[in-house]
Amino acid sequence: MRIIVTDQNGVVHELEALEGWRVMEVIRDWGLNIRAECGGSCACATCHIFVDAEWQDRLNPPTDEEEDMLDTLPDVETNSRLSCQILMSEDLDGLKLTLAESARQEEAA
Amino acid sequence: MSGNEIVTDVIIIGAGPVGLFAVFELGLVDLKCHVIDILDRPGGQCAELYPEKPIYDIPGFPEISGQGLTDNLMKQIAPFGAEFHYSQMVTNVERLDDGSFRVTTDAEETFVAKVIVVAAGGGSFQPKRPPVPGIEAFEGKSVFYAVRKMDEFRDHDIVIVGGGDSALDWTLSLQPLARSLTLVHRRDEFRGHADSVNKMRALVADGKINFITGQLARLEGEDGQLSEVLLKTAGGEIGVPATRLLPFFGLTMKLGPVADWGLDLHDNSLVKVDTEKFETSEPGIFAIGDINWYPGKLKLILSGFHESALMAQAAKRIVHPNERVVFQYTTSSTKLQKKLGVV
């Protein structure tokens, strides 16, 4: 099972994913640039991603809680999701997404 | 120096769960603490990010909320009389000739202490900045992330962006003194209190404010003075005359000034410590909780609690080098029980 992730610098990565993992956890585990500050409890919106158009309707729609957190993002789009709220399953094999600028880890000067 | 300097044993930077528990462990070894935090209340991430969310991995608590844990810790450390300095950020740390530190905050408070404990979690909470080109040039002049003086908004064309309580509360408070007020949110649903939402909708219905579903796209203006805000909406780009903009997208954490204190960092974002004392590369400065790094580090509240206890033993030796440190249990030591005020 794989997901295809474009990072904030435009580099495309194919990541091996495991059933039942949160997409955020897969991205973090492979060491891509994702803050995921709250660790997956839908409380911070720092695991923000954009889902490719072809995949948008194939995901469970965001819960009210996720929508509320999306409200706190200044760079939200119609295909914005929080990657901690998407669980990997066979159906999502090949999921394509892009990491949002607002998910980038801060680096000290 | 000036007479306003506060002299104490230990300065704790960060009033999250780990900073709070450090007060306890330091208190048991008779060290007095002052705690500084950028938020206006204790709890750190527990209070700011997930006050209502249950935490399941605090030993002895099958389930406790972020706020519940904070309240309990405040009760637990009350006997030690730590003093709290909220709504300010430590900006500067300098070593004095006698080995102690002078700590300065952005509220211009100054402290002198022999030990500093950095318990700043993910860093300092700061407002999220919208990714609008050139917004920096307007910040502090016509774009603000907080309202400090309402009068600075009087007779202005105000645009407020966001869908939470800050956006709604300031819409209601500033409307009476604004020349015009436009609220912008990405959808026609609000996560703020229902009462505020109703009041806001009534103002829209009365034609006293505008509400637009959309997002910030661009800013127009000169020399930091805003003249127009351009919004991306379903019907295309529209312009709203604006001389004040208030984006309310909540807070995010930034490592901030900690990065400039000359401490060895890991990955440019975490403070390296040893695993015996949780001391940084700078003797006398400790780092505990989510902000530190050592091989095998897990960002768990319980790790921070453990780190507090070991740090306190080392801090004691720095502050009172000639005192013997006797390790004691709170269950059996009447000395410790007296400190806790239970006997």
Positive or negative: CA dihedral B267, B271, B273, B275: negative
- Residue B144 located in a structural domain: yes
Which CATH number fits the domain that encloses residue A18? 3.10.20.30
Longest dimension (CA), chain A: 41
Closest chain A C-alpha to B142 CA, distance in angstroms: 18
Flag whether residue A31 sits within 8 Å of chain B, measured between CB atoms: no
Q: For residues B287 and B196, state if they share a domain.
A: no
- H helices of chain B, where? 17-28, 45-48, 66-77, 165-174, 194-205, 301-319, 334-340
Gap between the Cα atoms of A55 and A59, Å rounded: 7
Is the same domain home to B292 and B273?
Answer: yes
A74 assigned to some structural domain = yes
Residues B144, B104: one domain?
A: no
Whether B69 is covered by a domain: the verdict is: yes
Q: Is A23 helix (H, G, I), strand (E, B) or coil?
A: helix
Kindly indicate the confidence band of residue A109, based on its pLDDT and cuts at 50, 70 and 90: very low
Residue A14 touches chain B, beta carbons under 8 Å:
no
Same domain, B95 and B151: no
Pairing of strands B33-36, B6-13: parallel
d(CA A65, CA B52): 13
Domain count, chain B: 2
- Domain tally, chain A: 1
Q: What is the mean pLDDT of residues A14-24?
A: 96
Domain that holds residue B155: 129-249
Whole-complex ipTM: 0.78
Question: Residue B1 — pLDDT band, cuts 50, 70, 90?
Answer: very low
Written as one string, the DSSP assignment of B123-150 is: SEEEEPPP--TTGGGGBTTTB-SS-S-G
Q: Chain A: nearest CA to B258, how far in angstroms?
A: 9
Last residue of a domain, one of B249, B270, B294: B249
Quick check: is A57 in a domain? Answer: yes
Quick one: average pLDDT of B9-38? 97
**Residues B326 and B181 grouped into a single domain:** no
A109 within domain boundaries: no
Domain end position, chosen among B249, B280, B300: B249
pLDDT of the residue at A107: 54
Of B221, B249, B277, the last residue of a domain is: B249
What type of residue is B255?
L
The domain of A61 spans: 2-103
Q: Which residues of A touch B185 (CB under 8 A)?
A: 71
Same domain, B108 and B134: no
In a domain, A108, yes or no: no
Of the residues A71, A75, A102, A105, the best mutation for testing chain B's interface (the one with the most B CB atoms within 10 Å of its CB) is A71
Q: Are B124 and B212 in contact (CB under 8 A)?
A: no
pLDDT digits (tens, 9 = 90+) for B60-72: 999 999 999 999 9
Partner-chain contact A74 B163, CB within 8 Å: no
> For the domain that residue B232 is a member of, what is the CATH number?
3.50.50.60
pLDDT tens by residue, B183-202: 999 999 998 899 999 999 99
Specify the pLDDT at position B253. 82
Evaluate whether residue B1 is within a structural domain. no
